Amino acid sequence: MARVLVADNELCTGCGICELLCSYAKFKVFNPRRAAIHVVKLEPGMDTPIFCTQCGLCIPSCPEGALSRNPQTQVVVVDKEKCTGCGVCVLACPYGAIHVDPVTNKAVKCELCGYCLKCPQSALKIVDVKEAVDWRRKNFAKAYTTAPQMFRKLWYKPPLK
């Protein structure tokens, strides 16, 4: 069965260790700009890692055919020999989870190597797709019910007297 990476935003502290681990796994350097996972800081205390969901929407966008799905794991992979670094896949990704590496000029995306799972907060895990769907539904419902209070707190301006 296909597997995907999921993140628990309540556990993520935004420390960026997942980015460092990922860049080291891919390129043997500690450089978050080269990682396939990126922590986005939305508001103070609201950090979320962005990574490939293995949806495959990028595959048909590549003019060189450098993106494909591994038939055994169902993970979307980049063929570094075919990739020209044109960036069309970057535009095709609805999650902003692909970028062109500034050193190699090749597309970089999560291929589920598992290095980021060493997160000290255990905010990341790789699960099968069925578990991920259930988990995302639960978290969406939780976010949907708490978002109105959060937005009122952030943007509510009391009426002028």
Indicate the domain borders of the chain. 3-126
Nearest to 4 by CA among 74, 57, 67: 74
- pTM score of the predicted model: 0.82
- pLDDT, one tens digit per residue, over 15-44 is 999 999 999 999 999 999 999 999 998 877
**C-beta separation of 97 from 53 below 8 A:** yes
Q: Which fold has domain 3-126?
A: Alpha-Beta Plaits (3.30.70)
Q: Which of 40, 16, 2 is nearest to 121 (CA)?
A: 16
Pairwise CA distance, residues 117 & 19, whole Å: 11
Phi-psi region of 105 (alpha: psi -120 to 50; beta: other; left: phi over 0): left
pLDDT tens digits, 107-152: 999 999 999 999 999 999 999 988 988 887 887 777 767 666 666 5
